Amino acid sequence: MVDLELDMRARIGRLELAKPVMTASGTFGFGEEYRSLVDLGALGAIVTKGISLRPRAGNPAPRIAETPCGMLNAVGLENPGLEAFLRDKLPGLREMGPAVVVNILGDTLEDYAALARALDGAGGVDALEVNISCPNVERGGLAFGTDPALAAEVAAAVRESTRLPVLVKLTPDVTDIAAVARAVAATGVDGLVCINTLRGMAIDPLSGRPRLGKVIGGLSGPAIRPVALRAVFEVAREVDTAVVGVGGIGCWQDAVEFLRAGAVAVQVGCATFRDPSAAVMVLRGLEDFLKGLGVRSCSQLVGAVEL
């Protein structure tokens, strides 16, 4: 048997990744936090923490609560803002090896467009991920992501403001995610990222205080994996646009589930908090699995579910 090279490339519209595994926004900082701990070069892409036009301080503590097989967060998009990002974070990110995907969040349509324009000219950015699904901010975020028409408007605004590939990140907290996906896909974006966190809450039974300063936050982790997988499956069958899977992925078996459900690539989120090398381990395990299957390219697994 000739040992053909396994092709791990993932094509997300105009964005081509060397590997189909990325870090998820907000769970890997700007890469530098994990430099000494993770073989960064192995990853397909690093997706940054969400960036807004101006710096944001985020929500009051506590911002984190543990839940069964997962966690709630209400960070509230604390970030240094566009300018400091370009100055302090982007140069380091560029050198790390993986593609650089910048997650952006605005309060208004114009914010999104302005972020897209600025990042277009920045150099060293490989794609934008448009966050219209963050449950932790007052304006923007989720409000855009729950309405197909508004979601499409944001997508179109970003699309028209940059030559960079554009991914749009969807919320599962809607009646019909396929409807949002169709509307966004119609704007010609390069990829749909499913899913952001689910809105959730926890209360300390003894004190009666909510476990998050902001009361309601976003649920992530293995707990939400079945919801994320269903979302990927539903969206992938509805649109031709590439789908990226995220939600509770922590090992290669999880990644295989998402690829089979129709994702062309996956993101590893809060699994990194348990084990910083989670994303790299997902990738290595996936490679071994594909070699064992004897397929030539990772893309052959995409959509391979036996219905």
Partner 1 sequence: MKPIRLEAELLDARAVARQMVRLRLRVGPCAIRARPGQFVMLGPLAEGMDPFLNRPFSIHRLEGPEAWELLVAEVGRGTRMLARLEPSARLPVLGPLGSGFEPPAEGELLLVGGGAGVAPLFFLAEDQLARGRRVRLFYGASSADRLVGCEALAARGARVEICTDDGSAGFGGFVTARLEQALGDGSDWLAACGPEPMLRAVTGLARRFGLAAQVSLENRMACGTGACMGCSLLLAGGPRRVCVDGPVFDAREVF
Q: Which residues bind partner 1 (CB under 8 A)?
A: 26-29, 33-37, 49, 57-58, 60-71, 73, 75, 78-79, 221-222, 250, 270, 272-277
Round to whole Å and give the CA distance between 179 and 176. Answer: 5
Q: Show which residues are catalytic.
A: 134
Q: Which is nearer to partner 1, 56 or 159 (CB)?
A: 56
List residues binding ligand FMN (CB under 6 A).
Answer: 24-27, 49-50, 73, 75, 77, 103, 131, 134, 169, 196-197, 220-221, 224, 246-249, 268-271
> 250 or 262, CB closer to ligand FMN?
250
Q: Could you tell me if residue 140 is left (phi over 0), alpha (psi between -120 and 50 degrees) or otherwise beta? A: left
Strand bridging mode 166-170 / 216-220: unpaired
Site for a copy of itself in 235-294 (CB under 8 A): 248, 252-254, 256-257, 260-261, 289
Q: Give the closest residue to 50 by CA, choosing from 17, 96, 82.
A: 82
The residue behind tokens 């982790």 is: 221
Task: Rank residues 15 and 298 by Cβ distance to a copy of itself and give the closer one.
Answer: 298
Could you give the C-alpha distances from 242 to 14, 46, 203, 251, in angstroms and in order?
A: 10, 18, 38, 22
Q: Angle 278-293/252-261 helices, nearest 10 degrees?
A: 60
Q: Which does 256 bind (CB under 5 to 8 A by kind): ligand FMN, partner 1, a copy of itself, none?
A: a copy of itself
Which listed option, ligand FMN, partner 1, a copy of itself, none, makes contact with residue 290 (CB within 5 to 8 Å by class)?
A: none
Count other Cβ atoms within 10 Å, centred on residue 66: 11
Comparing CB distances to partner 1, the nearer of 179 and 223 is 223
